[in-house]
Amino acid sequence: MHAPATSTRIGQPVPRKEDLRLITGKGRYTDDMNLDGQAYAVMVRSPHAHALIRSIDSAEAQAVPGVLAVLTGFDFIEDKLNPIPNKTFSMHPAEMPLINFDGTPAFNVSDYPLPADKARFVGEAIAMVVAETIAAAKDGADRVVIDYEPLPCVTYTVDAASPDAVRVRDEHDNICIDAQVGDAEATAAAFRSAAHVARIKTWVPRVAGSPMEPRAAVGDFDAKTGRYTIYTCSGSTLRLRRDIAIVLNVPEPHVRLVIRDVGGNFGTRGAIFPEQPLVGWAARRVGRPVKWTSERSEALLSDYQGRDLAVEAELALDKDGTFLAIRGSNVGNLGSHTGNFSMVQKGVEIMSSIYRMPTAHFRARAVLSHTAPTRPYRSSGRPEVIFVMERLIDLAARESGLDRVELRRRNLILEAELPYKNPFGMVYDSGAYHKVMERTLELADWRGFAERKAEARKRGKYRGIGVANYVDTATGIPREKAELTVHANGSVDVVIGTVSNGQGHETSFAQLINEWLGVPIDKVRLITGDTDIVTVGGGTHSGRGMRLGSIVIWHASNKIIERGKQVVGLLLQKSPGEIAFSNGLFVAAVGGQSMTLSEVAGAVTSRTDLPPELRGPLMAECDETINDAGFPYGCHVSEVEIDPDLGNVEIIRHTTVDDVGRAVNPLIIHGQTHGGIAQGVGQALLEHCFYDASSGQLLSGSFMDYAMPRADVLPFFTTEISEVPSTTHPLGMRPAGEGGTTPALGVVINAIVDALSDFGVTHMEMPATPERIWRAIRGKPQRSRIVPDAVEQQISLT
Partner 1 sequence: MPTVSITVNGELRSAEVEGRTLLVHFLRDHLRLTGTHVGCDTSQCGACTVHVDGVAIKSCSALAVACDGASVTTIEGLAVADQLHPMQQAFHENHGLQCGFCTPGMIMSAIDMVRRNGHDLDEHTIRTQLDGNICRCTGYHNIVRAVQAGAAAMRER
Interface with partner 1 (CB under 8 A)? 1, 15-16, 18-20, 22-27, 29, 31-32, 34, 135, 210-214, 261-264, 266, 295-297, 501-504, 667-668, 670-672, 674-679, 702-704, 708-712, 714, 716-717, 740
Question: 9-23: string of b/e by CB count within 10 Å (b at 16+)?
Answer: bbbbbbebbbeeeee
Nearer to partner 1, 113 or 735 (CB): 735
Coil, helix or strand at residue 89: coil
Smallest distance from partner 1 to CB 785, Å: 21
Alpha helices per DSSP H over 444-488: 449-458
Nearer to partner 1, 132 or 624 (CB): 132
Smallest distance from partner 1 to CB 504, Å: 7
Q: Name residue 783's amino acid.
A: R
Coil, helix or strand at residue 222: strand
CB 667 within 8 A of CB 15: yes
Nearer to partner 1, 17 or 361 (CB): 17
CB 247 within 8 A of CB 274: no
Q: Tell me the C-alpha distance between 584 and 592, whole Å.
A: 15
Nearer to partner 1, 463 or 505 (CB): 505
| DSSP letter for each residue of 228-287 | EEEEE--S-SHHHHHHHHHHHTS-GGGEEEE-------TTTTSS--THHHHHHHHHHHHT
Nearer to partner 1, 17 or 544 (CB): 17
CA distances from 245 to 83, 242, 270, 345 (A): 11, 5, 17, 28
Smallest distance from partner 1 to CB 208, Å: 10
Smallest distance from partner 1 to CB 266, Å: 7
Nearer to partner 1, 332 or 740 (CB): 740
Q: Tell me the C-alpha distance between 703 and 508, whole Å.
A: 33
Nearer to partner 1, 31 or 173 (CB): 31
Least Cα distance to 241 among 531, 27, 557 occurs for 531
Angle at 328 between CA 639 and CA 773, to 5 degrees: 35
Smallest distance from partner 1 to CB 33, Å: 9
Smallest distance from partner 1 to CB 457, Å: 23
Nearer to partner 1, 176 or 721 (CB): 721
Residue 533 has a CB neighbour count (10 Å cut-off) of: 14
Q: Chain centroid to CA 615: how far?
A: 44
Residue 134 half-sphere exposure toward CB, CA atoms < 13 A: 6
Nearer to partner 1, 264 or 788 (CB): 264
Smallest distance from partner 1 to CB 19, Å: 4
Smallest distance from partner 1 to CB 17, Å: 10
Question: 229-246: string of b/e by CB count within 10 Å (b at 16+)?
Answer: bbbbbbbbbbbbbbbbbb
Q: Tell me the C-alpha distance between 377 and 367, whole Å.
A: 17
Nearer to partner 1, 569 or 740 (CB): 740
CB 632 within 8 A of CB 735: yes
Smallest distance from partner 1 to CB 207, Å: 12
Q: Name residue 560's amino acid.
A: I
Nearer to partner 1, 620 or 651 (CB): 651
Nearer to partner 1, 196 or 307 (CB): 307
Nearer to partner 1, 263 or 328 (CB): 263
Paired with 619 in beta bridges are 485
Angle at 432 between CA 428 and CA 436, to 5 degrees: 120
Nearer to partner 1, 109 or 708 (CB): 708
Q: Strand locations in 383-487, DSSP E? A: 420-421, 427-428, 462-471, 479-486
Nearer to partner 1, 160 or 259 (CB): 259
Smallest distance from partner 1 to CB 650, Å: 12
| Sheet containing strand 216-222, strands side by side | 67-72, 125-131, 39-45, 290-293, 216-222, 227-232, 255-258
Nearer to partner 1, 182 or 767 (CB): 767
Residues 6+ apart with CB under 8 A from 1: none
Q: Chain centroid to CA 609: how far?
A: 52
CB 428 within 8 A of CB 352: no
CB 436 within 8 A of CB 659: yes
Smallest distance from partner 1 to CB 498, Å: 15
Smallest distance from partner 1 to CB 118, Å: 29
Smallest distance from partner 1 to CB 744, Å: 10
CB 261 within 8 A of CB 27: yes
Q: Given phi > 0 = left and psi -120 to 50 = alpha, else beta, which region is 252?
A: alpha
Smallest distance from partner 1 to CB 267, Å: 12
Smallest distance from partner 1 to CB 294, Å: 10
Smallest distance from partner 1 to CB 310, Å: 26
Least Cα distance to 96 among 204, 182, 185 occurs for 182
Q: Given phi > 0 = left and psi -120 to 50 = alpha, else beta, which region is 425?
A: left
Smallest distance from partner 1 to CB 210, Å: 6
Nearer to partner 1, 338 or 638 (CB): 638
Smallest distance from partner 1 to CB 460, Å: 20
Question: With the C-alpha atoms ordered 517, 520, 523, 529, is the resulting torsion angle positive or negative?
Answer: positive
Coil, helix or strand at residue 416: helix
The DSSP bridge pattern shows strands 648-659 and 718-722 to be parallel
